[in-house]
């Protein structure tokens, strides 16, 4: 049975899904579960999460800086203007996930992200339409009890 928390060599307890990879540990300790209130960070995670589909999150974390370089520092305004030529360049970039559908989605999502910002003032304000309560802190006893989606 997987435990919900594991004690690591540095003496800290972390969620049971964390590996001993330094990138994963840093992500867990400094980003996971931390609300994003900055639209540029929200676009970054929209892009990264869409690239992650079917892959491990650690795979994405290992390629994160390559994604940052390839996708204009996660600047939605710049990504929204990517041309077909830029798409073809991205398809040749071994540092990122070279999946045509995912790359096209990242570009299209940037365009939609900007529309949402224009209509609602920010992506954060738009996302708040779906939040009906304050953050809930759970104290799961077993990793298997943690829902895959919330």
Query: Which CATH number goes with the domain that contains 60?
Result: 1.10.340.30
Task: Please report, for residues 50, 65, 76, 83, 141, the alpha-carbon distance to residue 72 in angstroms, rounded to integers and kept in the order given.
Answer: 17, 11, 8, 13, 42
Q: Which domain holds residue 72?
A: 39-128
Claim: this prediction has a pTM higher than 0.85:
no
CA separation for the pair 45, 113 (Å, rounded): 12
Same domain, 99 and 119: yes
**Active site (catalytic) residues:** 27, 49, 57
Please report the pLDDT score of residue 71 as a whole number.
99
What is the total count of domains within the chain?
Answer: 2
Task: Tell me: do 29 and 52 sit in the same domain.
Answer: no
Residue 59 domain flag: yes
Q: Based on the fold, state whether residues 20 and 58 are members of the same structural domain.
A: no
Shared domain for 47 and 26, answered yes or no, is: no
The answer on 22 and 78 residing in a single domain is no
Q: What is the mean pLDDT of the chain?
A: 90
Q: 54 and 76, same structural domain?
A: yes
Q: Give the 3-state secondary structure of residue 3.
A: strand
pLDDT over 90 percentage in the chain: 65
Q: List, in sequence order, the alpha helices (H) in 81-141.
A: 84-91, 100-120, 123-128
Residues of the chain with pLDDT under 70: 1-3, 133-136, 149-150
Is 60 part of any domain? yes
Helix or strand run (H / E) with residue 99: none
Q: Is the dihedral of CA 124, 126, 129, 131 positive or negative?
A: negative
């Amino acid at each position: 049975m997987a435990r919900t928390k594991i004690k690591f060599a540095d003496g800290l307890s972390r969620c049971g899904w964390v590996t001993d990879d330094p990138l994963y540990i840093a992500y867990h300790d400094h980003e996971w579960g931390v609300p994003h209130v900055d639209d540029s960070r929200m676009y970054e995670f929209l892009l990264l999460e869409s690239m992650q589909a079917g892959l491990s999150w650690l795979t994405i974390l290992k390629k994160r800086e390559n994604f940052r370089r390839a996708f204009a520092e996660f600047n939605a305004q710049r990504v929204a203007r990517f041309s077909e030529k830029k798409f073809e360049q991205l398809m040749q970039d071994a540092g990122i996930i070279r999946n045509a559908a995912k790359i096209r989605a990242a570009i299209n999502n940037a365009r939609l992200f900007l529309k949402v910002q224009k209509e609602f003032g920010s992506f954060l304000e738009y996302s708040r339409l779906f939040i009906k309560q304050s953050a809930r802190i759970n104290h799961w006893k077993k990793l298997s009890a943690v829902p895959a989606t919330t």
